[in-house]
Amino acid sequence: DAGITQSPRYKITETGRQVTLMCHQTWSHSYMFWYRQDLGHGLRLIYYSAAADITDKGEVPDGYVVSRSKTENFPLTLESATRSQTSVYFCASTGGWDETQYFGPGTRLLVL
Amino acid sequence: EDKVVQSPLSLVVHEGDTVTLNCSYEVTNFRSLLWYKQEKKAPTFLFMLTSSGIEKKSGRLSSILDKKELFSILNITATQTGDSAVYLCAVSLTGTASKLTFGTGTRLQVTL
| Beta-bridge mates of residue B66 | B71
Helices (H) and strands (E) in chain B, counts: 0, 11
Residue of A nearest to B32 (CA): A99
3-state class of A107 per DSSP? Answer: strand
In chain B, residues 69-108 whose CB comes closer than 8 Å to chain A? 88, 90, 92, 97-105
pLDDT at B42 over 80: yes
Residue of A nearest to B41 (CA): A105
User: Which one, of A28, A38, A54, lies nearest residue A89 by Cα?
Assistant: A38
Asked if the Cβ–Cβ distance from B42 to A105 is below 8 Å, we say yes
What residue ranges do the domains of chain A occupy? 4-111
- Asked whether A48 and B102 are in contact (CB, 8 A), the reply is no
Return the amino acid letter for A71: T
- B3-111 folds as Immunoglobulin-like (2.60.40)
- Asked whether B96 and A45 are in contact (CB, 8 A), the reply is no
* CA distance linking residue B16 with residue B112, whole number of Å: 9
pLDDT band at B36 (very low <50, low <70, confident <90, very high): very high
pLDDT band at B54 (very low <50, low <70, confident <90, very high): confident
Asked if the Cβ–Cβ distance from A41 to B104 is below 8 Å, we say yes
pLDDT band at B14 (very low <50, low <70, confident <90, very high): very high
Return the amino acid letter for A102: Y
The residues, ordered by sequence, that sit 6+ positions from B96 with a Cβ below 8 Å of its Cβ are B29, B31
Query: In this predicted model, what pLDDT tens digit does every residue of A47-105 receive, in sequence order?
Result: 999 999 999 999 999 999 999 999 999 999 999 999 999 999 999 999 877 789 999 99
Asked if the Cβ–Cβ distance from B100 to A45 is below 8 Å, we say yes
pLDDT at A95 (0 to 100): 84
CATH number of A4-111: 2.60.40.10
Read out DSSP for A1-21?
---EEEE-SEEEE-TT--EEE
3-state class of B73 per DSSP? Answer: strand
Indicate left, alpha or beta for A4 from its phi (over 0: left) and psi (-120 to 50: alpha).
beta
* CA distance linking residue A85 with residue A38, whole number of Å: 10
Q: How many CA atoms lie within 13 A of A111 on its CB side?
A: 18
Q: How far is CA A102 from CA A33, B10, B65, in A?
A: 10, 24, 22
Query: In this predicted model, what pLDDT tens digit does every residue of B72-92 receive, in sequence order?
Result: 999 999 999 999 999 999 999
| Beta-bridge mates of residue B71 | B24, B66
- Asked whether A61 and A77 are in contact (CB, 8 A), the reply is no
**Stretch (H or E) spanning A65:** strand A64-66
Query: In this predicted model, what pLDDT tens digit does every residue of B21-31 receive, in sequence order?
Result: 999 999 888 89
pLDDT band at A1 (very low <50, low <70, confident <90, very high): low
Does residue B65 sit at the A interface (CB-CB below 8 Å)?
Answer: no
Pairing relation of β-strands B106-111 and B10-14? parallel
What residue ranges do the domains of chain B occupy? 3-111
